[in-house]
Amino acid sequence: MNFMETVLNKSERTAYELGALYERYGYSQYKMSKFEEYDLYVRNKSFLVSDHIITFTDTDGKLMALKPDVTLSIVKNSKDSTDGVRKVYYNENVYRVPKGALSFKEIMQSGLECIGDIDDYCVSEVLTLAAKSLEKISHDFVLDVSDMSIISGIVDSLSLSRKGREDVLVCIGEKNLHGIDAVCRAEGVDGARAQTLKELVSSELDCEKMLSILKDTECADEARALASIIEVLASELGARIRIDFSVIADMRYYNGIVFKGFVRGVPTAVLSGGRYDSLMQKMGKGSGAIGFAVYLDAIAELDEIYCEYDTDVFVLYDDNIDVRVISKVVREVAQSGERALAGKKVPEKLKYKSIVDLTKEEA
């Protein structure tokens, strides 16, 4: 075992490896304060994973918040530039109530942001790094990719009411084809137009099939652009990259490509991201932006080392054993790269690989 395996848990090891990965692609580490002005989050509450925020009053009377999100802080503190791109990554803790939980937690999160003149290469690079990030977690992963400009274009063509639009977007995210039918019937939408949307959501799509479905729609150009990026990535990732239009995000913030990453053994997405030019505009910036976050708390259960053993070697001794002997054995185990724990009695339920019983050697 090396240092990282014996000292760091799965989340910590992954954060370290992701930082090294991102730096190899020219991303520099972004460091930030643990808190921001509360107003930043109030104005963008619907962008947050959770709307629960820990607040406090600063010494100057300003209402502050422990940061529940990293992207908003980076956007707020980034210079607006459409000339070139700024590439940053982060390993930060955020403070929020996870989905399904009842209390706040400090959550370790890694990710990256690419801000500025975003072109097809930038999009392709970010998706590549998303896939490589998943591979650092597990070799058994998939990256599902969608495009909000295509979803928005098809939904716009249905001419739904505001309520109908909200309902149909929920149905898209759930792959609820009956729900899409029900909304469209209630609003008098032509069946053929509804069928295009259902085919996009229900089908296992490759680029050829997607282009066929969208060839006579307002989204044909966007479909070709998405296909060209997917084809580049598929040459390396194969079936691990999939087109899935049920992956959606808030249209007030996201435009263009959005994506989610999954690994075997974790029931929820461990990575999510997308292009968020709309958020930049909402915050008064003219730059484009794309990025993603890796939810390191979600992968803690994959830490097989700590689930299997509490220590590698337990060194058992009694009062008759010379302290120098005990120290020598523990030191030799540690120098071999394994973990050692010494004691007069093996703790109940302790999980260990092997035991060195000095009391028997004494006899």
> Is residue 305's pLDDT more than 50?
no
pLDDT at 306: 43
Give 279's contacts (C-beta < 8 A, 6+ positions apart). 44, 47, 71, 75, 253, 254, 289
Helix (H, G, I), strand (E, B) or coil at 54: coil
Rg (CA), the chain: 25
Residue pair 210/197 in contact by the 8 Å Cβ criterion: no
What would the mean pLDDT of 319-340 be, rounded to a whole number?
90
Count of C-beta atoms within a 10 Å radius of residue 120: 11
Helix (H, G, I), strand (E, B) or coil at 312: strand
pLDDT at 235: 86
pLDDT at 7: 55
Pairing assessment for the beta strands 311-316 and 340-343 based on DSSP bridges = parallel
Estimate the crossing angle of helix 148-157 against helix 220-237, to 10 degrees.
Answer: 150
Q: Each residue of 326-336: pLDDT tens digit?
A: 999 999 988 88
> Is residue 362's pLDDT more than 60?
no
Q: Each residue of 243-285: pLDDT tens digit?
A: 999 999 888 889 999 999 999 888 889 999 999 999 999 888 9
Residue with tokens 């060209």, as numbered in its chain: 228
The percent of residues in the chain predicted with pLDDT above 70, rounded, is 93
pLDDT at 82: 73
Residue with tokens 């054995």, as numbered in its chain: 329
Q: Each residue of 89-118: pLDDT tens digit?
A: 999 888 887 776 778 887 888 999 999 999
> Is residue 5's pLDDT more than 60?
no
